[in-house]
Structure 1
Amino acid sequence: MHASSLPAWIYTDPHFFELERARIFRQAWHIMGHVNDVPGAGDYITLDILGERVVTLRDAAGVVRSFHNVCRHRASRLAPDARGSCGSRLVCPYHAWTYGLDGRLVGVPSWQGFEDLDKAVHGLQPVLQEIFHGFIFVRFETGLPSVAEMMAPYAAELEPYALTALVPQGRVTLRPRDVNWKTIADNYADGLHIPVAHPGLSRLFGTSYRIEARDWVDKMSGVLQPAASARWSERAYLALLSQLDTVPAEQRQLWAYYKLWPNVAFDVYPDQVDFMQFIPLSPTQTLIREIAYVHPDASREMRAARYLNWRINRQVNAEDTALIAGVQGGMTSSSYTTGPLSPHEVCLRAFADRMRALIPQARLGRAPVAPGQSAP
């Protein structure tokens, strides 16, 4: 008997979305960026997610810290931009309360009448933080293992990429999608659609694409095939990879993808590393947050490889955008409740099992009837 996918109603239901906020995303690790996004004292990055605001900044001693991006006086946003520098102090734009880079409240204008205020208890509220291979993660409640524990099955194979030394290439891109966050997460870990819907990846990988599911992370990977492609961009990219020395030879032909529960994904290429974060905005709206990181190599060959990587994946992303829109639209059909899962769909099975364990309502084929309402 085949396992079944998650029921369609949880991809559109506002009540289930609120359960996800409380039972999944409060404990989830959210990626802020990389330590090299904040290279100097006063440099900061911010993230708004599910009603929370976070700022991560580097202090004068070089320590990277994360705080709620909320003034302790009247809840104003402190750091205004996605990325910037506040100098030696973080100053509230509303009433000019001033915080040190370590989060301490260091100044309140004298004319505001707070002479007896205990500054020591009105510093910025810290956010739980973990740095994994240079990437900064935060969460709002305990519950899940550490990021290092979750990623432990793949720690050894990530070492050669020297992730801590990466620097950002450009800025974070935000891509709104009118789909549920799970639709994107499902598609990312779905291996069956690769030979059907991604002709470019099929040319590059041949039959080498593999998927596997561990307790907290899924891995998808493909080995780039040496056979000459009919596409000049793919032929040129494969030729350039053979010249790179940033990773060992056996990894120069490998594209690997890791999806950390529940909504953070890393695309690990020989020439760059990207992260994607699927930020839920509503039951049917998600913001994809993404950026590429690279080793500071200015060679012409490396720049060309990164351009060709972008060119190839631009088409893949366009194909996936159409696919997830089609799936999300089908979730509202009266003809669909759940579908069978193949034994090969190990990542989707693991994801569905975890959802049902955390939120038992996900076991229901249809949305429960609220008190005072009649069944449809």
Structure 2
Amino acid sequence: MHSLDNLKHQAPVVGWDEQDPEEAFTLPSRYFFDETLFKAERDNIFMRAWHVAGHKNEFSAPGQYVVCDLFDQSIVVARNMKGEIRAFHNVCQHRGNRLLDSRRGNSGGVVRCAYHSWCYEMDGSLRSAPRCERIKNFDKQDFNIPQIRIEELGGFIYFNLDPEAPALAELFPGADEEMHRVFPDMDKMRLIEEQDVIVPANWKVIMDNSIEGYHFKLSGPCHIDLAKLIDFKGYKLTKRENWWTYIAPANLEAQNAYGVDLKSERNPQECFFNIGLWPNNTFYTFPYSEFLGTFMMIPLDAERSLLRFGYYSTHEQTAEVSKACMRWMNEDLGPEDIALNISVQKGLHSRGYDQGRYMIDAQRSNESEHLVHHFHSLVFKGIHGQDAC
């Protein structure tokens, strides 16, 4: 005889994607903690997806690199001495030693394995191996580190572990133009700060929270403070096939933001802007913040995620309002959201809950949860296949 928990976790998913969105129920709760489903996400979604390595200006000098970890894989993205940006696996081809541990740096053009001093160019090609000239039939070209696909979109460099994955332009048509529309100086961005936070919640719980406006005026005080900087009459949440935006004009009557008095002159194009690229890449700006933010939800396991917050600016000196907004994001709004994420993750285990009702109205208004439904549809298709039913 099955326990209540077993019955809940084995409930069928047949027909979930055939629901009318306006009458639909969410993904069953097990999609947010079940190990088998998480492994399917890892293999079918993340190991085939495009992941942000950094802005191209983070690779402006030869030898400059960024290390990106995805589950048990580690990738180096770097500019080589020829001026080319390349990506390769972060592993020596001799005995499997990891080459680089720091998140960022400049290798001076060569990566040396700390174990036996095999040295590699910044495209993964083997430069030298001690005593290799004494070894029978040793050809250095046979021991180049395998390279990984990279592409650029919106000024950012992405990598993909799947050599057969569709190109960024094919997956996200129009996204590059949309980012440059809001950030015309995108190519001049420089990294100001990066923060990593590990949260005991499934990555989808965090994404769900970020792509709906239903809770904006209904949850904590920081969300209410942010809402005061937004003109909600113009707030629109728009889905595309593999990407989405939620955008609103700024409240041009606001006198201060993030504890800082605002300048009297206002940019009429000031806005609240968010763009999400499947599965877990988000770029945004808050009204008057004078920065571009990146927000990546990187899954660690079924119930833990690494949140990576990046802040970029075109200014030589970081504006005071930018510093204030970053501090407010890190110390106020971020923790408020994270507390919600943790609470939801706990609640999803309750015997008293399995599926909820999407709050989707016919108008797809700014308080509607249609982006959450769209995101869940991509998750369902990613786990179960294009023809899932």
TM (norm. structure 2) is 0.84
Q: Is contact 1:42–1:89 with CA below 8 Å preserved after alignment?
A: yes
Q: 84-93 or 201-210, which moves further after superposition? A: 201-210
Shift of 1:311: 4.1
In the alignment, which of 100, 120, 141 is matched to residue 120 of structure 1? 141
Deviations 1:33-87 (A, max 9, x none): 1121122111111011111110011111211111011111111111221011111
Residues 131 and 325 of structure 1: CA distance in aligned 2, closer, same or farther (over 3 Å): same
Residues 240 and 101 of structure 1: CA distance in aligned 2, closer, same or farther (over 3 Å): farther
- Asked if 1:17 corresponds to 2:38, the answer is yes
Q: Could you say which residue in structure 2 is the equivalent of 1:164?
A: 187
The separation in 1 between residues aligned to 2:38 and 2:46, in whole angstroms, is: 10
Deviations 1:78-126 (A, max 9, x none): 1221011111311111111111223211111017953531111211110
In the alignment, which of 269, 273, 281 is matched to residue 256 of structure 1? 273
- Asked if 1:303 corresponds to 2:319, the answer is yes
Q: Could you say which residue in structure 1 is the equivalent of 2:253?
A: 227
Residues 61 and 222 of structure 1: CA distance in aligned 2, closer, same or farther (over 3 Å): same
The separation in 1 between residues aligned to 2:241 and 2:208, in whole angstroms, is: 16
SS for the counterpart of 1:187 is helix
In the alignment, which of 141, 149, 167 is matched to residue 170 of structure 2? 149
Q: Is contact 1:167–1:294 with CA below 8 Å preserved after alignment?
A: yes
Q: Is contact 2:172–2:243 with CA below 8 Å preserved after alignment?
A: yes
Please list, as runs of the form range in 1=range in 2, the aligned pairs for 1:33-48 lying within 5 A after superposition. Answer: 33-48=54-69
Unpaired stretches in structure 2, ≥5 consecutive residues = 1-21, 361-367
Q: 331-340 or 316-325, which moves further after superposition? A: 316-325
Deviations 1:341-364 (A, max 9, x none): 122211111111122222239x99
In the alignment, which of 63, 70, 86 is matched to residue 84 of structure 2? 63
Q: Could you say which residue in structure 1 is the equivalent of 2:380?
A: 356
For 2:356, the aligned partner's letter is G
Unpaired stretches in structure 1, ≥5 consecutive residues = 243-248, 365-376
SS for the counterpart of 2:297 is strand
For 2:333, the aligned partner's letter is V
Q: Could you say which residue in structure 2 is the equivalent of 1:103?
A: 124
Q: Is contact 1:176–1:288 with CA below 8 Å preserved after alignment?
A: yes
Q: Could you say which residue in structure 1 is the equivalent of 2:17?
A: none
Q: Could you say which residue in structure 2 is the equivalent of 1:204?
A: 229
Q: Could you say which residue in structure 2 is the equivalent of 1:374?
A: none
- Asked if 1:328 corresponds to 2:351, the answer is no
- Asked if 1:313 corresponds to 2:329, the answer is yes
Q: Where does structure 1 differ by over 6 angstroms across 4 or more consecutive aligned residues?
A: none
The separation in 2 between residues aligned to 1:241 and 1:126, in whole angstroms, is: 49
- Asked if 1:279 corresponds to 2:301, the answer is no
The separation in 2 between residues aligned to 1:325 and 1:338, in whole angstroms, is: 18
Number of aligned residues: 351
Q: Is contact 1:210–1:222 with CA below 8 Å preserved after alignment?
A: yes
Identity of aligned residues (%): 27
SS for the counterpart of 2:208 is helix
Q: 55-64 or 217-226, which moves further after superposition? A: 217-226
Q: Could you say which residue in structure 1 is the equivalent of 2:151?
A: 130
- Asked if 1:215 corresponds to 2:241, the answer is yes
For 2:379, the aligned partner's letter is M
Shift of 1:21: 0.8
Residues 11 and 117 of structure 1: CA distance in aligned 2, closer, same or farther (over 3 Å): same
The separation in 2 between residues aligned to 1:228 and 1:180, in whole angstroms, is: 35
Q: Is contact 2:123–2:147 with CA below 8 Å preserved after alignment?
A: no
Q: Could you say which residue in structure 1 is the equivalent of 2:14?
A: none
Aligned-CA RMSD value: 2.4
Q: Is contact 1:47–1:55 with CA below 8 Å preserved after alignment?
A: yes
Residues 89 and 165 of structure 1: CA distance in aligned 2, closer, same or farther (over 3 Å): same
Q: Is contact 1:200–1:312 with CA below 8 Å preserved after alignment?
A: no
- Asked if 1:339 corresponds to 2:356, the answer is yes
Residues 325 and 79 of structure 1: CA distance in aligned 2, closer, same or farther (over 3 Å): same
The separation in 2 between residues aligned to 1:224 and 1:232, in whole angstroms, is: 11
In the alignment, which of 48, 54, 58 is matched to residue 27 of structure 1? 48
TM (norm. structure 1) is 0.87
Q: Could you say which residue in structure 1 is the equivalent of 2:213?
A: 191
Q: 126-135 or 179-188, which moves further after superposition? A: 126-135
Shift of 1:142: 4.3
Deviations 1:227-272 (A, max 9, x none): 345x6646624x2772xxxxxx443x21201111111111135611
SS for the counterpart of 1:289 is strand
Shift of 1:305: 2.2
In the alignment, which of 278, 290, 310 is matched to residue 291 of structure 1? 310
Q: Is contact 1:204–1:234 with CA below 8 Å preserved after alignment?
A: no
